[in-house]
Amino acid sequence: MTDFIQWLWYDALLRDLVVLAGYLVAGGLVGVYVRALYRRFAGTVSNRDSFSRSFPLLTLSTILVIFVVKSSLALSLGLVGALSIVRFRAAIKEPEELIYLFFCIATGLAIGAEYFAVAAVGTVVFTGFVIASHRARGRFSSTGDHSLLLTISGEFSDVGSDSQGVLQLLGEVAGEFALQRFDVDGSSVQLRAVIEPRGSDAVGSMMATLSERLPQCRISYVNLESLL
CB atoms within 10 A of CB 80: 10
Q: Helices 116-139 and 95-112 meet at what angle, rounded to 10? A: 160
228 Cβ contact partners less than 8 Å away, ≥ 6 residues apart? 39, 48, 49
What is the mean pLDDT for each group of 10 consecutive residues in the chain (228 residues)?
Answer: 59 73 91 90 72 88 83 62 58 78 90 89 93 73 61 72 66 76 76 74 76 78 60
Question: For residue 184, what are the β-bridge partners?
Answer: 189
Cα 75 to Cα 64: distance, rounded to the nearest angstrom: 13
Indicate whether this model's pTM tops 0.75: no
The Cβ-side half-sphere exposure at 10, using a 13 Å CA radius, reads 6
**Total H helices, total E strands in the chain:** 9, 4
DSSP for 41-97? H---SS-HHHHHTTHHHHHHHHHHHHHHHTT-HHHHHHHHHHHHT--------SHHH
d(CA 212, CA 153) in angstroms, rounded, equals 15
Question: How many angstroms separate the first and last alpha carbons of the chain?
Answer: 51
Which residues, listed in sequence order, are joined to residue 149 by a DSSP beta bridge?
194, 222
HSE value, Cβ hemisphere, 13 Å, CA-based, for 91:
4
Instruction: For CATH 3.30.70.260, list the domain ranges present in the chain.
Output: 148-226
CB atoms within 10 A of CB 90: 10
Q: Maximum Cα–Cα distance for the chain, whole Å? A: 88
Confidence at residue 121, expressed as pLDDT on a 0 to 100 scale: 94
Read off the DSSP letter of residue 218. Answer: E
Structure confidence at residue 143 (pLDDT): 43
pLDDT of residue 228: 41
Domain 148-226 fold:
Alpha-Beta Plaits (3.30.70)
Q: What is the pLDDT of residue 207?
A: 78
